[in-house]
Amino acid sequence: MAVLEIKKYPDKVLMQKASLVEEFDGRLQKLIDDMIETMYAAPGVGLAANQVGIPKQVAVIDVSTEEQKLPLITLINPVLVHFEGETENEEGCLSFPGYYTIVQRHEKVVVRALDRNCNQIEIEGSGLLSRALQHEIDHLNGVLLIDRIGRLKRDFFKKRFQKERKRQQVNL
């Protein structure tokens, strides 16, 4: 297993819709294992394959806490099949290090996908799991965290991002 490089905004692979997984082979299993190791090393609660430069419909999620251990989830070709309610909460993203913002999401969701062994699964989630499922599926569809916020917040983020980027280039 290996810790992979997490792509950062504005890398183009993050804005690309990932293609469906059609082959369940050793390369896919290695990618999943490497993504899991990368997610834990980051640390994060979810990671989509395009965040590590692979535009394939693969995501891993682990919303376990000290108090509540939950199983690691691997999603291949996930589809949101049901949702209800709305909630707002703060969200961050490994591809936007240090940036957190309030994002509106569905309160409860049902996702249908394949697991790493090509078995169909259906996951119902609320709370943090619902948020993580939606966030990672967004990544696989080329939708970024900043695409889920209002125009003014997005413009402010982009200006701040450009300013920070220029400052870093001057310091090199």
Sheet holding 58-61, edge to edge: 46-48, 58-61, 73-92, 100-114, 120-126
Q: Which of 22, 90, 136, 164 is catalytic?
A: 136
Instruction: Please name the residues in contact with 32: beta carbons below 8 A apart, sequence gap of 6 or more.
Output: 58, 60, 74, 116
Measured between alpha carbons, how far is residue 51 from residues 4, 20, 59, 150, 157 in Å?
9, 16, 9, 23, 20
Residue type, 110: V
Q: Give Cα 154 distance to the centre of its chain.
A: 19
**23 is a catalytic site residue:** no
Which residues are the active-site residues?
136
